A and B are shown apart, each in its own frame.
Chain A
Amino acid sequence: MSEENEETKTSNEQQDTPPIPFQQEMEEAVASPEKAEEAKLKARYPNLGAKPGGSDFLMKRLQKGGQKYFDSGDYNMAKAKMKNKQLPTAPAEKTEITGGHIPTPQDLPHRKTSMVTSKLAG
């Protein structure tokens, strides 16, 4: 009984699973398909973080779409500086806008609804 408790305690305390002997890992892999898949993953990505379900996934989930490159502050400052001059126009292709070029609202991927009726209603 106390052995079980110890085991549980260890698992909960440590976020990083300590490296276990190779043979033991192989034995576990045979017993559990999940562990076998984990071994496969670790073999392909040896630098995979020790905190699997932790912050990285969740942060990515919270971000979702990711940030586009538009800074309203920069844009307004650049507009004020320019005064009579035109803002540099965007390149013809939709390349990612970084560096010295100050993006304008026109540079952003223009996502307007096409107002096309859903094909489900067709």
Chain B
Amino acid sequence: MAAPGGDMQWCFSQVKGAIDDDVAEADIISTVEFNHTGELLATGDKGGRVVIFQQEIENKSLPQFRSEYNVYSTFQSHEPEFDYLKSLEIEEKINKIRWLPQKNAAQFLLSTNDKTIKLWKISERDKRPDGYNLKEDDGRCKDPNSITSLRVPVLIPMDLMVEASPRRVFANAHTYHINSVSVNSDHETYLSADDLRINLWHLEITDRSFNIVDIKPANMEELTEVITAAEFHPHQCNTFVYSSSKGIIRLCDMRESALCDRHTKLFEEPEDPSNRSFFSEIISSISDVKFSHSGRYMMTRDYLSVKIWDLNMENRPVETYQVHEYLRSKLCSLYENDCIFDKFECCWNGNDSVVMTGSYNNFFRMFDRSQRRDVMLEASRENSKPMQVLKPRKVCAGGKRKKDEISVDSLDFNKKILHTAWHPQDNIIAVATTNNLYIFQDKIN
């Protein structure tokens, strides 16, 4: 693999989506996820649709013109519903997509909206049977009396057809809004988490699930904390973590008890009480938690920073990276326009040496852990010539603005990059702006 983050030169590869500025709400991208080989890239949107792209190896002899991602399949995963009993609308927005490891020719993924998780099977069909005895080629039935000889139907090639079909629907298990889905390393079970509860499912069984975490207080007036994200450990099938709106991560071991309300480990960075402000708790709320591929570390994203935790050390993170510290002096207006509640995700690269997360103005950040370097880049149509190298961006917090810097007051807070994904092996990244998907790749590779 190429040199780590600092030496990497990121180049534009592709952009998907409409160019026009008038964004229909349904087109807002809500999740992005590579599959385990990186060959497939799935996106979900607010309109409940899933689009899957497939990497096509174009020209092996010219490695710099690496493969492109082209549309492989698209389908309507979820539809809007109305809960008449509670008078609540159920959005069709896809909150998360998680791929299952591939077991046979077909691909499987879990997609979820606020209330229902669905297992989708994506399969290819490139042959069809031909030469039936009782049917004509156009499907009409033959008169049995007219048949004088028998033949064996054969499979003949046809144009590739990719079909998506819902194989399981896991419904009615969540009172609150589902924020996370995570497939277990046992490849048989998965968890789904809402604001107050986490459920464990078996992929084959849809009519029941086990509740493994329940933080709902007896009296809702006493509610002080909600679950914001949850994930299974990549190798230990008994271990999972969940993060909270108070900036706390709890690690649970399912071997300890059926209901994991008591954590095995609690990760929290102590806060200096003299620094506490009205905003402290809000900006400490964790919007995403991701285990490293190694399983040794986990990363959390709160409003202003990314933190790397060693699972062996609970009392503080081992690394902290400020994503956009210049926003700290803008918290008042970010609170007023609700941006302070934006939920940014984060991701690791294949060998856990670099982490990436999004920001405003269509900027995104990469932090190279080994080289102690970081860079801020921009996803924009202006830098979308093929293989164009992305120039690092800089934000000036105040005072003298240097050339090429952008002032913090000029940032567009409507252009937020909440969802990013990194290819599991190569230096290829997918970055979602509001309604466009950018694919960038490392120049060397």
Binding site for B on A (CB under 8 A): 7-8, 11-12, 17, 32-38, 40-42, 44, 48, 52-55, 57-59, 61-62, 64-72, 105, 108-109, 111-122
Contact = CB atoms under 8 A, between A and B. Distances in A.
A120 to B, nearest CB: 5
B88 A37 contact: no
Given A35-B277, A109-B89, A119-B18, 19 more contacts: A32-B277, A38-B279, A38-B332, A41-B335, A41-B336, A52-B280, A54-B224, A58-B226, A62-B176, A62-B195, A64-B177, A67-B88, A68-B89, A111-B89, A113-B79, A116-B47, A118-B45, A118-B74, A120-B29
B279 A55 contact: no
Contact of A69 (B87, B282, B332): B87
Contacts of A33: 328-329, 331
Interface of B: 16-18, 26-27, 29, 43, 45, 47-49, 51, 71, 74, 76, 79-80, 82, 84-89, 91-92, 114, 176-177, 195-196, 220-221, 223-226, 245-246, 273-282, 285, 328-332, 335-336, 435, 437
The 4 A-B pairs of least Cβ separation, nearest first, read A53-B281, A11-B273, A33-B329, A111-B80
A67 B45 CA distance: 23
A71 B85 CA distance: 7
18 contacts: A11-B273, A12-B273, A33-B328, A34-B331, A37-B329, A40-B332, A41-B331, A48-B278, A58-B223, A64-B114, A66-B88, A111-B89, A113-B79, A116-B26, A118-B43, A119-B17, A120-B43, A120-B74
A34 B326 CA distance: 11
A117 to B, nearest CB: 6
A120 B51 contact: yes
Contacts of A52: 278-282
Contacts of A117: 49, 74
A94 B285 CA distance: 37
A57 B226 CA distance: 10
Contacts of B80: 111-113
A117 B435 CA distance: 14
Highest count of chain B CB atoms <10 Å: which of A44, A58, A114: A58
B92 A34 contact: no
B215 to A, nearest CB: 11
A66 B91 CA distance: 11
Highest count of chain A CB atoms <10 Å: which of B45, B223, B282: B223
Contact of A113 (B84, B92, B435): B92
Contacts of B331: 33-34, 37-38, 41
A118 B332 contact: no
B416 to A, nearest CB: 18
B280 A53 contact: yes
Contact of B328 (A34, A68, A72, A120): A34
A7 B273 contact: yes
